[in-house]
Amino acid sequence: MFPSSAGLVCDESVAQIAPAAMGAVVAETVEPVEPAWLRRGQIPSLNGLRAISIVMVLVAHLCHQGQLVPHEGRWGYIGYLGRLGVDMFFVISGFLITLLLLREQDRHQGISLKQFYLRRTFRILPAYVCLLMGIALLCSLGSITLTKADWVGALTYTVSFVHKPNWDIGHIWSLSVEEHFYLLWPVAVYFAPRRAWMGAVTAIAVTPGTRWLIQNHVPYLDDGYCSLTRMDTIAVGCCLAYLVYLRSFRQMMNMFCLSRIWKNASFGLVLP
């Protein structure tokens, strides 16, 4: 028996459609192009995210002072934006610093701790010295009053360990946390560039227990501001930097963004 003409037409149609379908599958599974910012240059949107986090902190401080909206009552929850803003800034900081260290490791097969600390010093210290001089001037004029513990914390980047610091320097706690991170993390990446992420994962896992311990058994430390209880958010940023360096992670994220699950979820968020 010979195949019917209808069968031949069907076979030809399948033969024409199959390559197109295969091309679509290949197009969706092709490996994503490495982002241009991974090895050098600025990261798009990073400054925008920083600005958002800073605005959230400023709004929270204004609420705390009662200058924007009442600190208590129906609008009191706006004050919690500050915590979210600081957490965002910490994640960004951990991501950026780790990415810079990994870039240097790739380019030079090593990291210069001396250059890193010099860059951080000239980036932070001039503005910080001006701040301390302004605080000293206000103290001499009698506008504010600081205790000895306040001054020790401010001069040694340890305000995050000071028990109930004066409000005028209390906000320096976040800078203290950052400085402790700058002091320890580059050393970890220097000695173990491929395995330092394990330390970040450990910090994420251990910090909740440390927070509970300080909250319940160490009354002279504030679990909301102590460096030991705030390293988890910075560590999240460190882990994200290591992940974007993994080709397999970028490919997985590319496949997820192209998947129907993600498209349907996005469509559902747009439509009511």
Q: How far apart are CA 100 and CA 18, in angstroms?
A: 46
Angle at 21 between CA 15 and CA 22, to 5 degrees: 90
- 112 touches 104 (CB < 8 A): yes
Per-residue pLDDT of 110-166, as tens digits, reads 999 999 999 999 999 999 999 999 999 999 998 889 999 999 999 999 999 998 898
Q: How far apart are CA 17 and CA 6, in angstroms?
A: 17
Q: How far apart are CA 183 and CA 187, in angstroms?
A: 7
The answer for residues whose C-beta is within 8 angstroms of residue 76's C-beta and 6 or more apart is 63, 70
Angle of helix 247-258 relative to helix 227-244, nearest 10 degrees?
A: 80
- 239 touches 204 (CB < 8 A): yes
Q: How many CA atoms lie within 13 A of 121 on its CB side?
A: 6
Alpha-carbon 45 to chain mean position: 13
CA distances in angstroms from 8 to 1, 2, 17, 22, 119, listed in the order given: 14, 10, 14, 21, 72
The 8-class DSSP code of residue 76 comes to G
Higher per-residue confidence, 172 vs 22:
172
Per-residue pLDDT of 245-267, as tens digits, reads 887 777 777 776 666 655 555 44
pTM of the model: 0.79
Quote the strand ranges of the chain, DSSP E: none
Angle at 262 between CA 256 and CA 267, to 5 degrees: 160
Q: Residue 260: its pLDDT value, please?
A: 61
- 157 touches 144 (CB < 8 A): no
Residue reference for tokens 């469509």: 267
Tally of residues, the chain? 272
- 124 touches 97 (CB < 8 A): no
**Does 227 score more than 70 pLDDT?**
yes
The answer for residues whose C-beta is within 8 angstroms of residue 50's C-beta and 6 or more apart is 89, 92
Q: How far apart are CA 56 and CA 111, in angstroms?
A: 34
What's the one-letter identity of residue 206? V
Per-residue pLDDT of 58-111, as tens digits, reads 888 777 766 666 656 666 667 677 888 999 999 999 999 999 999 999 888 999
Tokens at residue 27, please? Answer: 């197009």
Q: How far apart are CA 56 and CA 88, in angstroms?
A: 10
